Amino acid sequence: MNMFPGVVHEALRRTTVNAKLARRRLRRPTNLHVAPGTIVVAPDALPPEVTVVAFGPDRITESDVKSVTEIDALIADAPVAWVNVDGLGDAALLKAIGDRFGIHPLAMEDATDLSQRAKVDTYPSGTFVVLPMPHGDKGQFWTEQLALWITDRFVVTFQSVPGDCLGQLRSRMRNPASRLRTRGADYLAYAIADAVIDAYFPIVDAVGGLVEDLEEEVFRRPTGRQLSQIRRARAELIRMRRALLPIRDTASNLIALDTVFHPETRPYLRDLADHVARALDQIETDRYMANDLLEIYMTSVNLKLGETSKVLTIIATIFLPLSFLTGLWGMNFEWLPLKDQERGFWFSIALMVATVAGMMTYFWRKGWLRDSTKQ
């Protein structure tokens, strides 16, 4: 039994609310009309939660810290350290971390401005990288800005909301046999970027599977629900493409940074660029399929409408001569053929049945009675 229901509820509320805030702030710069290099904290930003992972070939230390002094005590003799800042609601703490690791003021400004696109900036004291990190909460794709500051020994990352796709990476770091434990900060930076790129594939596959399933359904029975799903799939694919296109250029720029990444790490960066290209190719294919699917849906709807109109037209056409015959014998004239004969009623019925049979035979030979949507 959970002994802390209030804590769990608050954590869930924090994750949901701030995911919405991150999506809302995605296109809205927060550093307008301020001096360059100014750290601007959004009013709804979360207080930072700082986690330090200091490791080497023979040991690893993980700890949550509250101040730069605690960070120094953990990373003093560590070969490599990863400092993750989760939440951007304390300008003083962010500035202290930036000063400790020599983060350029412009890089700190971009780290707190969540409207940045993927990019690489080089400074004398380090390299700054921005990557959109994917999320797929409740089937809705959105990205959270992940900023990295890379030096010879340290990687500092900044996130805005709780939760990320780096859990497996942290598990690998705890394994003494992992390659991460024997490599430098440049390989750690690559591994973080690779985890971000790999997180796109399950989301892309899910949207692609939805498009393929809809293709079968639309041919069989188009519905209004399918139109909503097609529109949603197209929107998700457009958002993913918009996020990944700048990452492609960023991956190419990372490969060109000879002074930042060790020669042994650069082949992994080329593999990273290949992953981005594969994801983009899959998105482009699914996007074309979604566009075609919309046209197929409209065509199927029009065919169904045409079939309905055809059936109604045939019914109306059949009843036209029947209405004529009943109207003819229903006229109030003194003399009408067969009016006073005993078999006149049955003769009129037989004539109407023969008329319907003749017309149905004619329609069948013309192929008008076949369902054109199933041919």
Sequence ranges of the domains in the chain: 7-186, 309-374
Q: What is the pLDDT of residue 2?
A: 37
pLDDT digits (tens, 9 = 90+) for 141-151: 889 999 999 99
Element (H, E) at 62: strand 60-65
Map tokens 């998105």 to a residue. 283
For 374, which DSSP code?
G
For 159, which DSSP code?
E
% pLDDT > 70, the chain: 86
pLDDT-derived band at 310, boundaries 50, 70, 90:
confident
Q: In angstroms, rounded to a whole number, what is the distance separating the alpha carbons of residues 216 and 14?
A: 40
The answer to whether 19 and 135 are in contact (CB under 8 A) is: yes
Superfamily classification of domain 309-374: Magnesium transport protein CorA, transmembrane region (1.20.58.340)
The pLDDT mean for the chain works out to 84
pLDDT digits (tens, 9 = 90+) for 83-130: 999 999 999 999 999 999 999 999 999 999 988 999 999 999 999 999
CATH of segment(s) 7-186 = 3.30.460.20
How distant, in Å, are the alpha carbons of 42, 114, 205, 232 from that of 225? 38, 34, 21, 11
Please name the amino acid found at residue 27.
Answer: R
Q: In angstroms, rounded to a whole number, what is the distance separating the alpha carbons of residues 340 and 347?
A: 12
Q: Collapse the DSSP code of 64 into the 3-class scheme (helix H, G, I; strand E, B; otherwise coil) and give the result.
A: strand
pLDDT-derived band at 4, boundaries 50, 70, 90:
very low
pLDDT-derived band at 7, boundaries 50, 70, 90:
very low
Q: What is the pLDDT of residue 137?
A: 65
What global pTM score does this model have?
Answer: 0.76
For 137, which DSSP code?
G
Is 7-186's fold the same as 309-374's? no
C-alpha dihedral sign at 363, 369, 370, 372:
positive
* pLDDT above 90 (res 154): yes
Q: What is the pLDDT of residue 351?
A: 81
Neighbour-count burial of 110, counting CB atoms closer than 10 A to its CB (0-12 exposed, 13-18 middle, 19+ buried)? buried
Neighbour-count burial of 74, counting CB atoms closer than 10 A to its CB (0-12 exposed, 13-18 middle, 19+ buried)? middle
The answer to whether 355 and 290 are in contact (CB under 8 A) is: no
Q: What is the pLDDT of residue 30?
A: 62
